Structures are given as C-alpha cells and as structure tokens.
C-alpha cells in the first residue's frame, strides 16, 4: 500500500508563489525515487487535468503548456518528498492539486494521463485571488 500526503496549499494573491509537497509512504519500502510521479489539478466544475510529471530519472520532466515557465516539479529523495514550486500564480490556477505515483515501465518513463497512475493523494486546495 502506498500513501501520498499533500500539503502546502492555501490562499495567495495573483503573482505570488506557493510550494506544494507530497510525501510518499510505502509498505513495500519503495521511496519517491522508485516512482514516476505527477501533479494534476481539478478546477471547479472541470475534469482533473495534467500539470507536470517527473520520471524516476529526475532530469526527465514534462509540463502542461499553461504552467510552463511558472511551475517547477522537483524531488528530494532524502525527504522522500515530491514538490511543486508555483510562481507567478494566476486566478485561473485556482484548483485542488493532487499528486500521483506509479511504478513505471522504465527509468526514463513518465506519464501525463490520469489512468496511468494508481496511487493518489487526497488533494490540497490552492486559491489565487485577483
């Protein structure tokens, strides 16, 4: 069983920054570096959408066009934690943010689809005021 626990959400003004964290706890003893991981978000009244992903090889990352240049995904293996650094936040970034994990097929694989992930956090609310 794998547990993902997100934190760091909150209320911020447009143009501000937030850092979300997602801590991994696995009975198998696997750590954050054993998984391909991602952040998704769900805007009010909309489907959950891809934000960013990172392969086991942490140099392999991908971003949705809407967040490129503003958001950065990173991982701290020592803390067993995934991060989402969000800068230049906009009101349209307001959403519940979820982290997700899966044991990938390969060291360089990452995934952008919801159905590729089988472990999910509970979500953390980010609200950006104008």
pLDDT tens, position by position, 11-56: 999 999 999 999 999 999 999 999 999 999 999 899 999 999 999 9
- Distance, C-alpha 19 to centroid of its chain: 10
Report the pLDDT value the prediction gives residue 44, as an integer from 0 to 100.
Answer: 85
Judged against a pLDDT cut of 90, whether residue 107 lies above it is answered with: yes
And the tokens for 93? Answer: 């970034």
Half-sphere exposure at residue 22, Cβ-oriented, CA atoms within 13 angstroms: 31
Burial class (CB in 10 A: 0-12, 13-18, 19+), 65: exposed
């Amino acid at each position: 069983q794998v547990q993902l626990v997100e934190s760091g959400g909150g209320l911020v003004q447009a143009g501000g920054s937030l850092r979300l964290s997602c801590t991994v706890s696995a009975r198998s003893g696997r750590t954050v570096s054993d998984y391909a991981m991602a952040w998704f978000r769900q805007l009010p009244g909309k489907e959950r959408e891809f934000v960013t992903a990172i392969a086991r090889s942490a140099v392999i990352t991908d971003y949705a066009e809407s967040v490129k240049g503003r958001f950065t995904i990173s991982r701290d293996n020592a803390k067993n934690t995934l991060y989402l650094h969000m800068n230049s936040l906009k009101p349209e970034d307001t959403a519940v943010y979820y982290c997700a994990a899966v044991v990938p097929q390969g060291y360089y694989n990452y995934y952008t689809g919801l159905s590729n992930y089988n472990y999910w956090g509970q979500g953390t609310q980010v609200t950006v005021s104008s």
